[in-house]
Amino acid sequence: MVNDYRELDVWQMSMSLCEKVYALIRSFPAEERFALCDQLRRAVVSIPSNIAEGNGRDSKTEYARFLSIARGSLFEVQTQLELAERFKYIAIPEETKH
């Protein structure tokens, strides 16, 4: 394990994803403020948070468990962004949909 989780590329990328999602949801309709927007915020913040928390744990098994939770949160964000696209709040470029 890395001593400082901030050195991890995956943590840095997940922090960038948080910034992008927060900027994106500013354009969502007001009625989504306490629905999809809140869900997206919680899920996207969970990604770097679980990477950091797992890195601070004492065992590789626990670290792997927190990385798994972070991965699950990433899939949650992907699903919520696809819903936002279906609702016509955003447009997701075709090349980023895998």
Task: Tell me, yes or no, whether 61 lies in a domain.
Answer: yes
Write out the residue range of the structural domain in which residue 75 sits.
15-90
Question: From CA 92, how far away is CA 86, in angstroms rounded?
Answer: 10
Task: Tell me, yes or no, whether 1 lies in a domain.
Answer: no
Indicate the number of domains in the chain: 1
Q: Which residues, 6+ apart, have CB-to-CB distance to 92 below 8 Å?
A: 81, 82, 85
Task: Tell me, yes or no, whether 62 lies in a domain.
Answer: yes
- CATH classification at residue 43: 1.20.1440.60
Task: Tell me, yes or no, whether 26 lies in a domain.
Answer: yes
Dihedral (CA of 29, 33, 34, 36) sign:
positive
Task: Tell me, yes or no, whether 47 lies in a domain.
Answer: yes
* Per-residue pLDDT of the chain in tens (98 residues, 90 and over written 9): 678 999 999 999 999 999 999 999 999 999 998 899 999 999 999 999 999 999 999 899 999 999 999 999 999 999 999 999 999 999 988 777 66
Question: From CA 32, how far away is CA 35, in angstroms rounded?
Answer: 5
**How many angstroms separate the most distant Cα atoms in the chain?**
44
Task: Tell me, yes or no, whether 55 lies in a domain.
Answer: yes
Task: Tell me, yes or no, whether 3 lies in a domain.
Answer: no
pTM strictly above 0.85: yes
Helix axes 60-86, 36-55, angle to 10 degrees: 160
